[in-house]
Structure 1
Amino acid sequence: MLGMPVEGMQSDDLRQLYPDGLTIISDGKTALLPLGMNDAQPALAQLTDDGEMAIMLARTLAEQGKFDADAVLDAYKFWWNSPAFGYGPTAQKALERGYLDPDSQSNGGLMRISPLGIFGVNHDPTQVADWARQDSRLTHIHPVCQDSVAVFTVSIAHAIRTGCDGAALHRWIIDWAAESGIADSVIDALRHARDRKPFYPTDIGASDKPFNIPLRLWVLVALHNAFWQLLNVDSLEAGVVDTVMLGDDTDTTAAICGALMGAVYGREAVPAQWSDAVLNCRPHAEQPHVFKPRPDVFWPIDALALAERLVSA
């Protein structure tokens, strides 16, 4: 949500507009943007595709009390037909045409999966990883996508369950990944997170650029950034803000980073302005600055209650 109004902007441009960092959740009409960039943007704290898919996963898990891939797919299709906006090309192919792109390594499966990590707190990591892969395969079938989603989901569950700090989580997940047959490129991305600040090279976890997507959408870029922020900054706010200021796919990379850091730091670490904006967001047509009115099933006003239901499921 923090990165929504500036999605697609480059880091240098962002730093000119926000020399102290973008720290306030705003809407596309009130954000400090170049002329023409704020037309038809979503409302204050309104969920984009990342959050809307995540909240549909959360609602399905809470209602079912279990992970049911068919029910989750139905929820994603409901979202798609709502109609969805701001979606990625890989998800579009899967949900619109039923085509699962075998080459895409984009980040769309990673961006939505955090509710499964919360739900997985009371389950074995191997089971959580299997559920995560099943979810990824609904839209993103490449093995690197599946393994990235598995690692990320298991990390969230472990952090919430144990209360460990970022360094301990990083050590644990690398060991778990190595023992669990996770792809070398995914483990490399995790290892690089210790000391390599995220940007968009081709050597963070694989030697070749993934097919069919811009490099900024690569799942390994998002995974690497989330763990780098966890290991190298001292607060959730700082990690999410720095992620947004990297530019490009700002809403997705920030959502992924925020989910991981939230699992470690807890909800008390979320700035009050952010949480207030989210929990009071009702994007209906009568609200000011709402250019994408949405059904209330996509409103995040019950996000905390949903999280509590997932933990206790």
Structure 2
Amino acid sequence: MKTSSKVLAGLIGVCVGDALGVPVEFTNRIDRIKSPVTKMIGYGTYHQPAGTWSDDSSLTFCLADALCSGFSVDAIASSFCRWFNEGFWTPYGEVFDIGHTTHYAIKRLKQGVPPLEAGGKDERSNGNGSLMRILPLVYYHKTLDFPELIERSHQVSCITHAHLRSQIACGIYISIGVCLLKGLAPQAAYLQGIQDVKEIYSQSLYAQEKHHFQRVNSGELASLPIDSIRSGGYVIDTLEASLWCLLNSSSYAEAVLKAVNLGEDTDTTAAVTGGLAGIYYGVENIPDEWINQIARIEDIIDLATRLEAAIYR
């Protein structure tokens, strides 16, 4: 697939990483070392055919779809509810994977709770469910002032994950993504990205959360040994693992396969990694054999075209 669209590269980057991880989700690292994933496979954990993506991509596409009509937290929340109720933006018309915190928030949305109040705010509501779908907001980097972009990232997180920790993780991820869109290489984008949000997260509001991001903010994440990288569903673990995989790879394929083969929350770690890797390496460097197996690929291409037109018109 030959195209220069960074919007398409990010969306397909998320989706391909997700689909690579779906069949082995919840398997442990020892299993992945013994039998590493090297290609797009099917069945496994959810008994789905090869190229099937999960809630990670579905909610990313729901966000992107809502953004095609402008920024509205109500529209985004409605899109998430359509996914849960109607199978909107699922690969085959049904939801087969959903996190507890996201499920709780959607139930609250259906009860009429306003979107910015629906997400869980307690310590246990820091799964990776908002980080996994936040990528489409990065494309507003040319049309919004940077603090406003980060604030919108926080708002979109709050629809399902309202704890400050989840909001900050989304903000850091978007900041690094912006730097990649500006043409910086991964290590430079990482260092510049954490620097760009430093002033925002130096505010007293965020002081209590600062220590949770110590490893990310150190600038030394890439040098950590693999044994210290955790790949479960906790938002900090996913942020660290995805950045570590990106920083310790030299191609899209290497980055997402490294993420999958960490084990545990394989689809989300690879989706979060894949969004950034897709932006940097471009869709032309995502293996065609993987893209060609992805469910609803033409719909995804159309969505990217519509989002690009909506944001950059």
TM category (shorter chain) comes to 0.7 to 0.9
Aligned to 1:126: 147
Aligned residue in 1 for 2:293: 277
Aligned partner of 1:293 in structure 2 is none
Task: Write the distance in 2 (CA, Å) between the matches of 1:197 and 1:306.
Answer: 41
Distance 2:35 2:188 in 1: 36
Match of 1:157 among 178, 202, 205: 178
Q: For 1:8, which of 6, 26, 37 is the aligned residue?
A: 26
Partner SS, residue 159 of structure 1: helix
Using a 3 Å threshold, how does the CA distance of structure 1 residues 127 and 181 change in structure 2: closer, same or farther? same
Q: Which has the higher helix share?
A: 2
More displaced stretch, 218-227 vs 265-274: 265-274
Query: Could you tell me how far apart the structure 2 residues matched to 1:121 and 1:271 are?
Result: 29
The one-letter code sitting in structure 2 at the alignment partner of 1:194 is: A
Structure 1: how far apart are the matches of 2:292 and 2:155? 33
The residue number in structure 2 matching 1:172 is: 192
Query: How much has 1:311 moved relative to structure 2?
Result: 5.3
1:90 aligns with 2:88: no
Partner SS state of residue 66, structure 2: helix
2:302 is the alignment partner of 1:305 = no
CA distance in 1 between counterparts of 2:286 and 2:73 reads 31
Q: Which residue of 1 aligns with 2:3?
A: none
AA matched with 2:134 = I
Whether the 8 Å contact between 1:114 and 1:153 is mirrored in structure 2 is yes
Contact 1:106/1:219, CA 8 A, preserved across alignment: yes
Which of 150, 153, 157 is the equivalent residue of 1:136? 157
Deviates more, 1:302-311 or 1:237-246: 302-311
User: CA-to-partner distance for each residue in 1:164-211, whole Å, 9 max, x for gaps?
Assistant: 111211121121122222642225324341311455678xxxxxxxxx
Residue 93 of structure 2 corresponds to residue 74 of structure 1: no
**CA–CA separation in structure 2 for the residues paired with 1:197 and 1:142:** 29
- Name stretches of at least 5 consecutive residues in structure 1 with no aligned partner: 29-36, 203-214, 284-295
Q: Percent identity?
A: 27
- Secondary structure of the corresponding residue to residue 259 of structure 2: helix
- The whole-number CA distance in structure 1 between the counterparts of 2:311 and 2:282 is 13
Q: Could you say what secondary structure the match of 2:48 adopts? A: coil
SS across alignment from 1:123: coil
Matches of 2:100 and 2:226 in 1, distance apart?
A: 23
Deviation at 1:265, TM superposition (A): 1.9
Q: Helix, strand or coil for the counterpart of 2:133?
A: coil
Q: Residue 199 of structure 1 contacts residue 246 of structure 1 at CA under 8 Å; is this kept in 2? A: no
Residue of structure 2 equivalent to 1:100: 119
The 2-side partners of 1:271 and 1:119 are apart by 27
- Determine the structure 1 residue equivalent to 2:5: none
Matches within 5 A, 1:287-298: none
Per-residue displacement from partner, 1:252-292 (whole Å, max 9, x unpaired)?
010000111222222222111122222xx249xxxxxxxxx
In structure 2, the residue matched to 1:17 is 35
Count of matched residue positions in the alignment of Structure 1 and Structure 2: 270
In structure 2, C-alpha distance between the alignment counterparts of 1:116 and 1:156, rounded to whole Å: 10
Give the Cα separation in 1 of the matches to 2:144 and 2:285: 25
2:168 to 137, 147, 152: 147
* Unaligned 5+ runs, structure 2: 1-18, 88-94, 110-117, 203-208
Q: Deviations over 1:110-134 (max 9, x none)?
A: 0011111124343222111011000
Assess if the C-alpha contact under 8 Å between 1:158 and 1:169 holds in 2: yes
Q: Per chain length, whose mean CA-contact separation is higher, i.e. which structure has more relative contact order (CA < 8 Å, sep 6+)?
A: 2
